[in-house]
Homo-oligomer: A and B are copies of this chain.
């Protein structure tokens, strides 16, 4: 369902064209004073319409807090937040119920919910529902910062362009914090230039591209996580697959570990300044579900946006025959950049939940 977390629980609600979207955050420690400017800035990183490579929809994204804060501090009650959907088109979406969009949740939602499914703008499966997640995530990031934990992600891949990461064992807080302030968060700006070119090419071709986001958590104590089915990987994977368009989640070297030998993949221990450190960090900071003290590294594969302007093969459900579909309107050729703060938010919420 639409609730994330155990001790810190975020319940998300809304559809793209409902009166509003929003969330309830339950389990925040009392006395926390969220920085609302930072929260707004974090949410803005996800918002569409900010630049050439994103969807042109102008969303207000103005959160109104209905409960849980008194004079700017959490009081122990759940924080509830609502964002009004100002931008509700009266456009007719009923055609999409007849000729479903390939690789879109519309189709499976129609099967599950029947004709009452709210297909307008992607309904409850719209990327817009990630705005409340970012709101909640911004709070989690600030609370983690108070605990000495920094979370930040970079775009590791767009189509066939890679942002070669620094040594996963040695990424610094400075490097990570810098990512949080870049409009296009990569470690190497040249990679970023090429990625944006790949996105632009896809846009010119009425097509879309996918990518990979790599998220780091620095400063986590060793020993966090439970064995087997409640480990850090289980919890983070379950959470991150809640983000639309995510097709894979891996840790550290991830799927590349499949091609490696143990002698290359094993992370050596070394004493440094009187304490145990872990070199290489192919494991991504977690062994057997439990954090090792090395930076946590999680990779998220994002598929190319399903909505493209080119003609596609689909079916006419009413006529019971094959059909061709052209989706009108401008589409975001790559949601990866906007998904970066969402990955950070979901990671932060899950990590904080395990620390509480």
Query: Which chain A residues (115-131) contact chain B, with CB distance < 8 Å?
Result: 115-118, 123-125, 129
A109 contacts B288, C-beta separation under 8 Å: yes
A212 lies within 8 A of B157 (CB): no
- Contacting A310 at CB < 8 Å: which of B66, B109, B263? B263
Q: Is A12 an interface residue (CB 8 A)?
A: yes
Q: Give the contacting residue for A258; candidates B114, B157, B269, B293; CB below 8 A.
A: B157
- Minimum CB–CB distance from A283 to chain B (whole Å) comes to 6
Q: Is A159 an interface residue, CB under 8 A from the partner?
A: yes
Does B3 lie within 8 Å of A9, measured CB to CB? yes
Minimal beta-carbon separation of A150 from chain B (angstroms): 21
Q: Give the A interface residue count (CB, 8 A).
A: 142
Chain B residues with Cβ below 8 Å from A181 are none
Q: Are A104 and B250 in contact (CB under 8 A)?
A: no
Tell me whether B315 and A19 are in contact (CB under 8 A).
no
Q: Is A60 an interface residue (CB 8 A)?
A: no
What is the bound-complex CA distance between A345 and B125, given in angstroms? Answer: 30
Please, how many angstroms separate the alpha-carbon atoms of A342 and B231 in the complex?
18
Contact of B1 with A228 in the complex, beta carbons under 8 Å? yes
Interface assignment of A208: CB less than 8 Å from any CB of chain B: yes
Pairwise interchain contact B124-A227, C-beta atoms closer than 8 A: yes
Residues of B within 8 A of A253 (CB): 247, 303
A1-B27, A238-B234, A254-B255 known; A265 and B304 CB under 8 Å? yes
Chain B residues near A112: list those with CB within 8 A.
30, 76, 223, 290
Chain B residues near A347 (CB-CB < 8 A)? none
User: Which residues of chain B are near A210, meaning CB under 8 Å?
Assistant: 257-262, 265
Establish whether residues B207 and A261, one from each chain, have CB atoms under 8 Å apart when the complex forms. yes
Cβ-neighbour of A75 out of B108, B123, B228, B321 (below 8 A):
B123
Given contacts A108-B290, A288-B244, contact A114 B250 (CB under 8 A): no
Give this chain's copy count.
4
CB distance from A107 to the nearest CB of B (A): 6
Pair A80/B2 contact, Cβ less than 8 Å? no
Rounded to whole angstroms, the CA-CA distance of A324 and B113 in the bound complex is 51
- Complex contact A249–B247 (CB within 8 A): no
Q: Which of A88-116 contact B (CB under 8 A)?
A: 100, 102-105, 107-109, 111-116
**Does A193 belong to the interface (CB within 8 Å)?**
no
What residues of B have a CB within 8 angstroms of the CB of A249 in the complex? 237, 248-250
Q: Which of A1-26 contact B (CB under 8 A)?
A: 1-4, 9, 11-15, 18-22, 24, 26
The reply to whether B80 and A13 contact each other, CB–CB distance below 8 Å, is yes
A271 to B100, CA, bound (A): 13
Residues A22-72 near B (CB distance < 8 A): 22, 24, 26-27, 30-31, 64-68, 70
A-B contact list, 6 entries, CB within 8 Å: A31-B113, A31-B116, A124-B228, A125-B227, A207-B261, A211-B258
Residues of A within 8 A of B (CB): 1-4, 9, 11-15, 18-22, 24, 26-27, 30-31, 64-68, 70, 73-80, 82, 100, 102-105, 107-109, 111-118, 123-125, 129, 157-160, 202, 205, 207-212, 222-223, 225-231, 233-235, 237-239, 241-242, 244, 246-255, 257-271, 274, 276, 279, 282-284, 286-293, 299, 301-308, 310, 312-315, 317, 320-322
